Structure 1
């Protein structure tokens, strides 16, 4: 094999779990398409621990930012170690072919529509693992999230300090595909 062919072969074998990943969003969308059916997600171990629909207004942010939706987490991928006082874990998982979080928007008929995916790594676990690279997806650094007790909202959404990255694969986001909130998503039809 010529040198360039070897480089191309090696590059094709690199999983999309690389932290500073350049990921083809169409490939990512195809990889997670099966989760459009929430029953498939449930069968694969995803859960919605509190059935909470995250909206900007509900988090003390301007309502015009929109919402995220209901988060279905995969506890095994996040390596959850505690749920109180905040969800915490040892997870440093970054594979976009099977993200650790699926995000659904409640619909008027009671169904759920997959709108986005997310990966989350716990800050303490990332540091303890010895990883030093910055978490980046398609040129955007992941958000560093920690609750500020001085504010009304919960900036970390019930989780211990962590890094996370949202990807709006199934709902256009005028603020950007990789931004946390989406004005085109609502919790209006959420039933507890």
Structure 2
């Protein structure tokens, strides 16, 4: 229950009005399945800023939440403007048929397995674009992520404050297909 309380707090700071998207997850799975081959993702412009595998424990959260994996971002879709000291951008991309982030789990043999997709919009860019609606996917509000300097973990995973939503298309998540972390994902085989 402690883990669920942490996740509920992650979504607490959402904008006022509602902008809901209903996405057919089977259709989305079909569209992005080509990215199971990391070389296709790389050829389409996805990169990893730091090859960091995000785990709940590594972010100062309860280890039983599991992990996310390694995020491969699409800089053009995110309109990345900086990578230091944090990834920042002007992106407000919300098209689920072309997600801005692919998430891979490192495998024991050194390969990467596609487990999820994600969309992310930078909070400052969202506000600067005059958008005030709450981002919602299939009935769930996107998570608001901002690092808390008073904690040892990095709640924003190297990004400036943003809203994001994960979709676990290729790995069952007992906490729910739209939750940020997955107990069935591990960073055990990450190179660093």
On whether the aligned pair clears a TM of 0.5, the verdict is yes
Name the counterpart of 1:174: 174
Cα separation, 1, equivalents of 2:134 and 2:107: 36
Q: Which has the higher contact order (CA 8 A, sep 6+)?
A: 2
5 Å-filtered alignment, 1:83-162, equals: 83-162=83-162
SS of equivalent residue, structure 1 residue 35: helix
Structure index of larger Rg:
1
5 Å-filtered alignment, 1:21-100, equals: 21-100=21-100
Report the TM-score, using the length of structure 2 for normalisation. Answer: 0.89
Cα separation, 2, equivalents of 1:132 and 1:90: 15
Count of paired positions: 174
Cα separation, 2, equivalents of 1:98 and 1:40: 14
SS of equivalent residue, structure 1 residue 134: strand
Cα separation, 1, equivalents of 2:98 and 2:24: 14
What stretches of structure 1 move > 3 A for 4+ residues in a row?
A: none
Structure 2: runs of 5+ lacking an equivalent: 1-18
Cα separation, 1, equivalents of 2:157 and 2:80: 15
Cα separation, 2, equivalents of 1:171 and 1:110: 18
Q: Superposition RMSD on alpha carbons, in Å?
A: 0.7
Report the TM-score, using the length of structure 1 for normalisation. Answer: 0.89
